[in-house]
A = this chain, B = another copy of it.
Amino acid sequence: MSQMLAEIRQQPAALAKTLTSELRSTEKLKKYLATRRPKFIVLAARGTSDNAAQFGRYLLEIATGIPVSLAAPSIYTLYKAPPSFEGSLVIAISQSGESTDTNLVLERARAQGAFTIGITNEADSSLAKLAEHVFLVRAGREKSVAATKTYTGQLLALYLIAYALGAQVSLDDLRLVPDWTAEALTVEEAIRARAERYRFMDHALVVGRGLNYSNAFEFALKMMETCYVVAERFSSADLMHGPIAMVTHSFPAFLFAPPGVTWPSTRELVEKLHGLGAETLVITDRSNKEAKEVSRAVVLPMSLARKSAIPVELFTPIPYIVPAQLFAAHLASIKGLNPDEPRTLSKVTKTM
């Protein structure tokens, strides 16, 4: 079995451990932030961590009402023109904690009086030393080059930050996420069988919206890294503004399809794609009954109906990425590739 597959399966335990271990310091952070509400929030990251940051961008803005921006590291590293970050909260996300450019963003921001948080897997990393508050993703060492358990761990840390900022993120609901993730793993054999169909796929389209927009980036990245598929990723709205012209007969499309406010536009897009002759596969759960009626579907066993989170799909991004990770890992094997050793890549990438 590949390391990637083993690490995908470690996620429920890793998430439960991270949640339990980080709760106390989250409450401390909450007290600290209660009297120091940031004027805006900046997220800095690269690669998979940048996809987690993209999730944070939606979660934190929706849940806290504080404007959020994704940092453009080259503005610090190449142009040496850091903007003014007084009164802001700057969050850097890095699996290794040794990403030179995102660490530089954090350092510059802290020097300007921003409050800084680091999210990393490594307690002894440069990032853990630089940041004023550290969330440790307690996923254990990630050996596969393709990140999986650190991505979901980073998403979990972002929920805790939203909670610490006073958002309506229920810890009771959050405690269900490791279980939902375990339930998501039960679809593995169905996913493996389905992946056979895609043996000769060389390009693809992945669509997500709102809270699951980052999952579209992450699914596409896993397919690029481990299956060498040229995978495009868009929100349904951005796709309609031009790129949809490239979609033709037999184009493979993957869509995240939670229930809630993003579903009507996702359903509309599924129908449009079918009209163009594309073949869709949606990732959804039992509480979105329409999804499996309009498209081939991976249906997760969890059901959101029993919970009352607002928005209803608030806690879908972690369980929903699991079938995507499984799909990429199995498709790589089906294509005769080793998902643990993508050509050209190494685990720690340093860029400036």
Contact between A65 and B84 (Cβ–Cβ < 8 Å)? yes
Contact between A74 and B210 (Cβ–Cβ < 8 Å)? yes
Choice from B62, B81, B202 contacting A75 with Cβ under 8 Å: B62
Q: Could you say how many copies of this chain the assembly holds?
A: 2
**CB of A58 closer than 8 Å to a CB of B:** yes
Contact between A57 and B40 (Cβ–Cβ < 8 Å)? no
Question: In the complex, what distance in Å separates the CA atom of A69 from the CA atom of B83?
Answer: 12
A202-227 vs B, Cβ < 8 Å mask (1 yes, 0 no)? 11000001100100000001001110
Nearest CB of chain B from residue A150's CB, rounded to whole Å: 13
Choice from B68, B243, B245, B344 contacting A343 with Cβ under 8 Å: B245
**CB of A276 closer than 8 Å to a CB of B:** yes
Nearest CB of chain B from residue A200's CB, rounded to whole Å: 14
**CB of A248 closer than 8 Å to a CB of B:** yes
With contacts A75-B61, A221-B243, A238-B47 known, is A69 near B69, CB below 8 A? yes
We find that the number of chain A residues with CB closer than 8 angstroms to chain B is 72
Choice from B58, B69, B210 contacting A67 with Cβ under 8 Å: B69
A231-249 vs B, Cβ < 8 Å mask (1 yes, 0 no)? 1100111101111111110
> Residues of A with Cβ closer than 8 Å to B?
39-40, 42, 46-48, 50, 57-58, 61-70, 72-75, 78-79, 81-85, 88, 101, 146, 202-203, 209-210, 213, 221, 224-226, 228-232, 235-238, 240-248, 261-262, 265, 276, 311, 342-345, 349, 351-352
6 closest residue pairs by CB, A with B: A47-B241, A69-B69, A237-B351, A245-B342, A78-B261, A224-B246
